[in-house]
Chains A and B, each alone.
Chain A
Amino acid sequence: MDEGLTVVGKRLVAVDAFAKVTGRAEYCTNLRLPQMLVGKVLRSPHAHARVVKVDGSKAEVLPGVRAIVTHKDVPRKVYTYNVMTYQLPEGEIQDMYLFDHKVRYIGDPVAAVAAVNEEVANEALRLIEVEYEALPAVFTVEEAVKSGVEKIHDFAEGNTPVPATPVFCYGDAEKGMKEADAVVGGTFSTSKQIQAGLEPACAIADFQNGRLTVWSQTQLPHMARKMLAHLFDLPESKVRVIQPFAGTGFGAGTDLCCEPYCCALAIKAGAPVKVLYSRSEDFSNRITREHICKIDMHVGVMLDGTPLALKAKYTGDAGAYMCKTASGCGVALASNITEYEFESMHQEIEAMYTNHLACGAMRGFGGMQSTFVREVVVDEACEKIGMDPVEFRMKYHRGVGGLGWFPGTEISSCGLDECLRVGAEKIKWQERKALPKDGVRKRGMGVACMGWLSGAQPMLLEHTNAILKFNEDGGCSLFVSPGNMGQGILGTLAQIAAEVLGIDYTDVNVIYGDTDLTAFDIGTHASRGVYCIGRAVQKAAQQARAQILDRASAILGAPVEQLVIKDKQVHVKNEPERTATFLQISQTCIYNYEKDCKQIVAHATLEPTEFAPPWQAGFAEVEVDTETGVVDVIKWITVHDIGKAINPIQVEGQLEGGTAQGIGFALFEDTVITHGKVLSDGFDKYRVPSTLDMPDHEALLVELGDPTGPFGAKSVGESGLFLQAPAIANAIYDAVGARIRDLPMTPERVLRALKEKVAV
């Protein structure tokens, strides 16, 4: 399928890499505007309290203070950080107010100040007087639903905004369980992972002539604009969201963070304001991964492996605000549908409020929690019926035409067999029985696999636009609006356009990151960039190509059907001397003295309906120290069915980076909250993997194409971090015979599991 491709599939350098290696890249944190003020947020020391009084009068008169904002200064409007609410007709639960009368977690903002410098701003924070009436707080989902407990939100009886609800059920799971030869499963827990981008939360806002401009780390600029417009009673056209480079992402940019406070201050101060969170403030207040705190899952299979039924119940600890907890649980359930040919499925979700920091989204949204549990349970089933886990997966995964993640969708391609085959060979799966099991340190091997999605269609609105504009030199500008966290989307989209147009990758100048310049786009979430935006780019490029051919047809006096594009030239088939260069064509479009000017501008709108699942197999070899419980990952292999890698460097980069986050999630990343206080509020306490913590790891690609993707491409954005936890858990079991059901799999937990095993 590589035939004739000149740009797609090539290992090209990222277009923004030069700015980044020379220190010229602009981020919110290093941008400075003239007369910019420093904004700071005053936060609640209480996990749950009524705000009786906020008095900023002493702070207001402090020299150098330019604005104090409290609930009195902003319109009282219900909203949510979760700007993805606009992707559903009925929206999602909105339960936040800017500076509410109640605070619901330690850190909930009650006021903000803008001052000429950080020192004055800090002093002003100390001068704001707040009177609280403390309320009883709850810190677990079990406590939250006890009778007589203080309600966190008035509308949510029993602190349960999402009571246990069956979702995406099919077949008769009860019957399946009864008929199954083996039923296995149990209760699992997962951690509240944080995105932990290296750049702390930061935003800049400026309000001039009735227009609000916001520099933001968002991944969803147009919907961020809509939410900010709503919050401050402005028409969307009066709000402009600019995305400089972002040193964070991984889902963090799918929710607002410091933008609302920054905008409120800028509007009041009439000057640009930067709000920059300290690392501790970031880790304690930036909403985390959707926290599915508890999953109960069982599967029933026949002796030959036939998967009859899957039953599961998911519990989400939303924290103080709903944001993405309910949708995270929902996606988690949906993701279970894609993987195996279960004859029936019954799944329920519930979500509770607690006085914890709320949850947003992180890479692998819901899917990775499901994948962890499902892949461990499947491993148990294989053991019970004596079937090789790789063989089970090859035999019973869904294939082309099978049920997709969301009711009504179909699987358009599946390269999982190839992924499993390549991975098993690479890690020497067949030789795993020979791994050393004597002595204190024992080795084991584990496998896991998954199928995911390329965009959240058809569940969510996934509206995308791409505009291509040709200049007089035959080069073009491509206007798109993804989130740009460095995942390589800009260059990848340029490659797609260049391939269609027959021009060089460097001829395509990608314009992004400004809602005033770009057409509407949902932005980047749900691994949609290359698949959804890429398809729109492909379509726009095809339209531009048609316009180029039309113009060439007129110049060359030959019908379009006889024209061929090659090396930035259009020539008549079999008559290479009858040629018009792109330069000539473009010039006649713009500087046409025959009264026939028409610049080549193409616009494509796309709302994909297919979901093009990428598939993946992950293999781990581990060594478990049975005296200390320490798990060393010796080798990690990811094999990913990408369909077609538009730029293999970027695809590998996504997967390899995912491996690090997945190992962190598996082994040590954990947000520790005690009595509502986030204790893991720095990189010294919340550990992410360093160079020394990474095993020998590699990412291999399977490219069999997808009929719906641009040049056959499917997604990779989130996929990299799904399989480490389950494959490592399965490898630990292979090594020492103990099942770990709680993440992260710390030495403390591994050792306890080893003891319980001995005790049994």
Chain B
Amino acid sequence: MRRIACTFLVNGVTHELLVDTNALLSEVLQDDLGLMGVHVGCGTGDCGACTVLVDGLPMLSCSTLAVTVRGKEITTVEGLSNGAQLHPIQEAFVEHGALQCGYCTPGMLLASKRLLDVNPSPSREDVKGFLAGHLCRCTGYNKIIDAVVDAAERGE
């Protein structure tokens, strides 16, 4: 098979696409669905920028064949906010200055969302451990960790 008819539930919307088997998830999300929040930093799984949630789990979209996640629910950073209402993690990132160039931000946000889903009150060490695969060249991480811890405190 070189092309497969796939269904993806992306940010709550169903997409039916004929997907090249050699297409990466990042390429389909960027090229076919026009999602500008999917940022590829290295293409080799070493920076974490391209992370998206697949059935709620952070995965590296640059190293995933799109066809292997057909039928699954995919969340990109565009799917985090509810319309104009930012997700608490997004709010915390903005308020703490947890981003500068913003290129690593989508991956950071999505991984952080997963962390808070499973650990509603992470320690700073927990955050460091969970985000170890996400490189940021701008912030030195302090404000990112602050934001995640604070977002947890804002949660229910």
Give me the interface of A with B, judged by CB distance under 8 Å. 13-14, 16-27, 29-30, 32, 195-200, 245-250, 278-279, 485-488, 649-650, 652-653, 655-661, 682-684, 688, 690-692, 694, 697-698, 720
Contact = CB atoms under 8 A, between A and B. Distances in A.
B94 interface: yes
A197 B103 contact: yes
Contact of B36 (A13, A24, A485, A694): A24
A17 B128 contact: no
B131 interface: yes
Contacts of A13: 94-95, 97
A107 to B, nearest CB: 18
A22 B86 contact: yes
A692 B129 contact: yes
B44 A279 contact: yes
Given A197-B137, A660-B136, 16 more contacts: A17-B93, A22-B90, A198-B39, A198-B49, A198-B101, A247-B41, A279-B42, A485-B101, A488-B97, A682-B42, A683-B42, A690-B134, A690-B135, A691-B127, A691-B128, A692-B132
B93 A690 contact: no
Nearest to B138: A657
Contacts of B106: 23
Interface in B116-156: 127-129, 131-145
* Top 6 A-B pairs, shortest CB-CB distance: A23-B37, A247-B103, A20-B102, A656-B140, A486-B100, A486-B101
B140 A659 contact: yes
Contacts of B35: 23
A486 B38 CA distance: 18
Interface stretch (B1-9, B53-61, B73-81): B73-81
A691 B100 contact: no
B61 to A, nearest CB: 13
A279 B127 contact: no
B137 A250 contact: yes
B135 A683 contact: yes
A653 B137 contact: no
A659 B76 CA distance: 30
Nearest to A22: B81
Nearest to B35: A23
B133 to A, nearest CB: 8
B66 interface: no
A650 B101 contact: no
Contacts of B99: 14, 17, 20-21, 486
A690 B94 contact: no
Interface in B9-64: 30, 34-44, 46-47, 49
Contact of A279 (B38, B41, B80, B141): B41
Instruction: Tell me the dominant secondary structure on chain B's binding face.
Output: loop
A655 B30 CA distance: 33
A652 B138 CA distance: 11
B104 interface: yes
B36 A23 contact: yes
B146 to A, nearest CB: 10
Contacts of A658: 140
B75 to A, nearest CB: 11
Given A23-B37, A279-B44, A198 B139 contact: no
B115 interface: no
A495 B43 CA distance: 38
A250 B100 CA distance: 12
Given A200-B41, A653-B143, A690-B135, A27 B103 contact: yes
Contact of B46 (A22, A650, A656, A684): A684
Contacts of B30: 30
A22 B102 contact: no
A23 B78 contact: yes
Contacts of A486: 99-102, 138
A21 B100 contact: no
Most chain A CB atoms below 10 A, which of B37, B95, B96, B103: B103
A657 B46 contact: no
Most chain A CB atoms below 10 A, which of B99, B106, B137, B142: B137
B67 interface: no
A29 B30 CA distance: 10
Nearest to A656: B140
Given A22-B90, A30-B36, A198-B137, A245 B102 contact: yes
B47 A23 contact: no
B142 A247 contact: no
11 contacts: A21-B81, A21-B93, A23-B36, A32-B34, A247-B102, A247-B103, A649-B143, A660-B136, A682-B42, A684-B46, A698-B142
Nearest to A485: B101
A656 B39 contact: no
Given A198-B135, A683-B42, A697 B77 contact: no
A202 to B, nearest CB: 11
A691 B97 contact: no
Given A16-B102, A24-B36, A29-B39, A660 B137 contact: yes
A653 B94 CA distance: 13
Nearest to A30: B36
Most chain B CB atoms below 10 A, which of A13, A650, A683, A697: A683
Most chain A CB atoms below 10 A, which of B37, B104, B133: B37
A43 B101 CA distance: 29
Nearest to B128: A691
Nearest to B141: A691
A692 B137 contact: no
A375 to B, nearest CB: 21
B34 A198 contact: no
Contacts of A197: 101, 103, 137
Given A21-B90, A23-B35, A245-B102, A650 B78 contact: no
B65 to A, nearest CB: 16
A665 to B, nearest CB: 12
Contacts of A683: 41-42, 44, 46-47, 135
Contacts of B39: 27, 29-30, 198-199, 247
B21 to A, nearest CB: 14
Contacts of B102: 16-17, 19-21, 25, 245, 247, 486
Contacts of B132: 690-692
